[in-house]
Each structure stands twice: as C-alpha cells, then as structure tokens.
Amino acid sequence: MGERVPKGTHVTDALIHAFSLSSKSEADFINIVSAKDCTLVDDKGKQYLDGMASLWLCQIGHGNAKVVNAIKHQLDQLQTYNTFDPFTNEPAVQAAEAIRRVSPHPEGKVFLGCSGSEAVDTALKLARMFHQRRGDADRQIIVRRTSGYHGVNVGGTSVQGIESNRVGWGDLLPHVIEIPNDDIEEAASLFAQHGSRIAAVICEPVQGAGGVIMPPDGYLEGLRRLCDQHGALLIFDEVICGFGRTGQWFASQTFGVTPDMLTFAKGVTSGYLPLSGVIISQALADELVSDETAKLMHGYTYSGHPTAAAAAVANIQVIEDEGLVNAAQRIGQRMSEGFTALLGDGMIQSFRGIGGIWACEIGGDAIPARDAMINSGVVCRGIGEAIAFCPPLIITDDEIGTIFDTLSDVLKQRSDT
Ligand SMILES: Cc1ncc(COP(=O)(O)O)c(C=O)c1O
C-alpha cells in the first residue's frame, strides 16, 4: 500500500488516476502546472519536451492564444446548452460543418460527444441500429482486431484487442469476434463463415495505444472489400489518426480507403476542451433521415456543447492557417531520419510510423527507458518493448533533434549498464 497523504496538505489522495497502480501515492506523480507550445513545466519548475502531445492529442501545441480566446469568447456568450430536441446552437452546427468539410465525407453528418470512448460506443450502436432498421436483426457481430484500442466504455472495452484491458470486469458485450491485425486472409475466412451476421468491423488505420502498428499493404483495402461484399459497415477509429496526425486530415485519406463511419476526438480540439464524435457517410446520413418517424434514441448531455464546439472550430482554423497537416509530413521525414540513424548505430531493433506518430523497438522493457527519458526532460510512451512518440504538429526540427539526442543518450546508458 502507498503512503496515505494527510488531509489539509497541498497534496491529497482524493484523485483516482487513469491506468495507474491504485496504491501509488499522489506525491509520486509528475505534477504539470503549465505548458506553452511543446514545453511542459512541472511544480518544481522542471521543463519537459512534450513528445506525446499529452496523450496523442495536442496537434496545435499548448497555450495557443487563438483557441484560448475563442473559448473565452464563447464563455462570455453561452457557456453550455444541450442539443436535445428542440434545441440547437451555432457553435455545434459550425463545428459539425467544419469537421465534415475536412473529412472523407463532406456530405455526411456528424454526431458529437465528449470522449473517444463515447464516440466508439456511438459508432457501435449506430452500426447495429442501421442493420436493425433495415430489418436485419441478426446482424450484430462486431469484428475487432488484435492490439486495437477503442477506449474504455463497455462497448470500447469489448471491441478492443488488448486483452489486459478486457479482463477483470465480468462479462462484456456478446457478438464480438477478433481477427489478427495483419492477416486479411483470416478476415476473409471469418467473413466466409459469419458474413451475413457481421454488423461492422472496427479498425484503427494506424493502431496507436497498441504500439503504433501500421496496417500491412492492402489490408485496409481488403477490409473495405470484405465489408462491401458481405453488407457490413467499416468503422475507422481515427481518435488518434484524425486531424492531421498521419499527414492528411484523416488517415482514411492517407491510405485511400473510405470507411462508412469515422470516430474522432483528441486532435479535433487539440484537447483544449473535451470533444469527440462520429462522422457518417452521405449514404448513411440519407438513410438516417429517410424515415421521418424514426427518432435517434441516443445522445449525451454534452453532445454539441457550445464551448467545446467553439474550441473545435478555432482549432481546425489554426491547423489550416498554420499548415499543420503538411507539417506532419515534415515531422515524419525528420523522425524517420532520426530512427534510421539509431538503427544504423545498433541502438534500436526496428521502427515504424508515419507523419507525426512513431515507435521504435528497443529490445527490452520500455518503462525504465521511458522513465529515463522523462527524467532527462522528454515525454514519450513505453508500450511493451517500444518507445512511442506523437508530438504536437508544431514541433520544430531542433526539438525533434532533442528527442533523438535524448533517446540516443538513454539507450546508450542502458546498454552501458
Ligand atoms: C483509437 C482510440 N479510440 C478511442 C480512444 C478513447 O478515447 P478517450 O480516452 O477520449 O475515451 C482512444 C484513446 O486513446 C484511442 O486511441
């Protein structure tokens, strides 16, 4: 058991931390107090380069005045209101329009929520709803991929391919079947067996939390083909990949494969305020509105939250004005060069990634290396034996240089000991 921090001191033990040892004392966490651009500052004044854009999300960097001011302005007008019938608000409508405009479905429609997990559960429910409404009540299977991460709501927990996240909660959703993340033939046999009962396949184009795993050549096209042949829907979970991360607005555009639905969160506001959602294709949107009597019995209190929506509109504008989608391609070039050099020096075993999302295999538990990186002032993520990076898309070449100098030092010290 960790030491209990007495009440009344600055640090209390009230907070339950996400994905953490419950016994860890509050005092042992790094307390971030401020941030600007790619630099974080903790309560002791120590600075860190944010090589993870918080948690794969802060595309425009920290402290962007345009987004901060847009939020302040909206707070002065209308802080909060819901969009349940009969209400709407202008920022929510504008955010939906701005989001679909940059998406592969500019004529589609956008549902808004708060978290990636809400977006995923919404997409799963919508997929099943469309089949139910078509009279295909037996089509309920959701196909998940090994190492996929789709958040922690019950739906997302059930359809994620990271087993350690799925155990310990009792029964999860039925009708979920897993396929390997790299073998389209296995997917084809599953469809051959159960095709008429498959509602949807859920897939991160680049798997993030599972370890920055790229799709094999032709794999995403293969999923698209199988879904089309068997009448299933294809959902791309772009919670990490969306909003420029892979060098296009959405990874769907990067890989040239268009899903029926896309989930998004994180980069849509760069995390300044929580916002997420689902984009549905024009065909699904037409289907949704075609029955004038069908009501959507789904929605969150904060669906279309005006202040979060205002943050999204301003954030998308900043991404456009500052050319951050193209910047991801420059970052990809620099990161690839940095990893190639480390590989040449025998410091890493392999690397992978695209645009602003990368990982390298270091051939041993990544957590001590991650801790050494953070100690040396660079935030990264340890996943298995991989170190992952996903920096703000405003990161400079010099800052990328700092990431690689630090990584090189840490890996060298590790091999020296
Ligand atoms: C691909 C993907 N989907 C869903 C989620 C869940 O998002 P949230 O943590 O906002 O619920 C995440 C979070 O990292 C994610 O990476």
For 23-54, what is each residue's pLDDT tens digit? Answer: 999 999 999 999 999 999 999 999 999 999 99
pTM for this entry: 0.97
Shared domain check, 381 and 332: yes
Q: Does the C-beta of 150 come closer than 6 Å to ligand 1?
A: yes
The phi and psi torsions of 178 (rounded to 5 degrees) equal -100, 140
- CATH code for the domain of 401: 3.90.1150.10
pLDDT by residue (tens digit) across 72-92?
999 999 999 999 999 999 999
Shared domain check, 305 and 216: yes
Q: Does the C-beta of 236 come closer than 6 Å to ligand 1?
A: no
Distance CA 199, CA 129 (A): 9
Distance CA 22, CA 180 (A): 32
Shared domain check, 156 and 223: yes
- The last residue of one of the domains, among 321, 353, 370, is 321
Tell whether 50 is covered by a domain.
Answer: yes
Tell whether 8 is covered by a domain.
Answer: no
Q: Which residue, judged by its Cα, is nearest atom 8 of ligand 1?
A: 116
Shared domain check, 356 and 227: no
Q: Does the C-beta of 209 come closer than 6 Å to ligand 1?
A: yes
**Beta bridge pairs of residue 40:** 35, 48
pLDDT score for 246? 98
Tell whether 41 is covered by a domain.
Answer: yes
Q: Which atom of ligand 1 is nearest to the CA of 204?
A: 1
Q: How far is the CA of 287 from the centre of ligand 1 (A)?
A: 27
Q: How many Å from the N-terminal Cα to the C-terminal Cα in the chain?
A: 30
Q: How far is the CA of 229 from the centre of ligand 1 (A)?
A: 29
Q: How far is the CA of 317 from the centre of ligand 1 (A)?
A: 23
- The last residue of one of the domains, among 304, 321, 338, is 321
Flag residues of the chain having pLDDT under 70: 1-10
Q: How far is CA 206 from CA 92, 240, 257, 359, in A?
A: 28, 8, 13, 12
Structural contact between residues 268 and 245, judged by C-beta atoms closer than 8 angstroms: no
Shared domain check, 317 and 169: yes
Structural contact between residues 9 and 1, judged by C-beta atoms closer than 8 angstroms: no
* Alpha helix segments (H runs only) across 231-381: 251-255, 282-290, 306-321, 324-344, 366-375
Distance CA 130, CA 318 (A): 35
Structural contact between residues 238 and 250, judged by C-beta atoms closer than 8 angstroms: yes
Distance CA 114, CA 119 (A): 8
Question: Which contiguous run of DSSP H or E holds residue 32?
Answer: strand 32-36
- SS3 of 37, please? strand
Q: How far is the CA of 291 from the centre of ligand 1 (A)?
A: 32
Structural contact between residues 209 and 383, judged by C-beta atoms closer than 8 angstroms: yes
- CATH code for the domain of 201: 3.40.640.10
Beta strands per DSSP E along 155-242: 176-179, 198-203, 233-237
pLDDT score for 2? 41
Structural contact between residues 259 and 235, judged by C-beta atoms closer than 8 angstroms: yes
Q: Does the C-beta of 204 come closer than 6 Å to ligand 1?
A: yes
pLDDT score for 416? 79
Sign, CA torsion 288/292/294/297: positive
Shared domain check, 317 and 371: no
- The last residue of one of the domains, among 321, 354, 373, is 321
Q: In what order do the strands lie in the sheet with 39-42?
A: 32-36, 39-42, 47-50, 378-379
pLDDT score for 3? 45
**Beta bridge pairs of residue 203:** 236
Shared domain check, 212 and 341: no
Q: Which residue, judged by its Cα, is nearest atom 13 of ligand 1?
A: 151
Structural contact between residues 192 and 332, judged by C-beta atoms closer than 8 angstroms: no
Which phi-psi region, left, alpha or beta, contains residue 284 (left: φ > 0; alpha: ψ -120 to 50)? alpha
Shared domain check, 299 and 276: yes
pLDDT score for 10? 60
Q: What is the 3-state secondary structure (H, E, C) of 362-384?
A: CCCCHHHHHHHHHHCCEECEEEC
Provide the number of structural domains found in the chain: 2
Q: Which residue, judged by its Cα, is nearest atom 3 of ligand 1?
A: 150
Shared domain check, 98 and 48: no
User: 372 lies in which domain range?
Assistant: 31-60+323-416
Beta strands per DSSP E along 213-294: 233-237, 261-264, 276-280
pLDDT score for 414? 83
Structural contact between residues 388 and 212, judged by C-beta atoms closer than 8 angstroms: yes
Structural contact between residues 245 and 355, judged by C-beta atoms closer than 8 angstroms: yes
Distance CA 65, CA 76 (A): 16
Chain centre distance of CA 201: 17
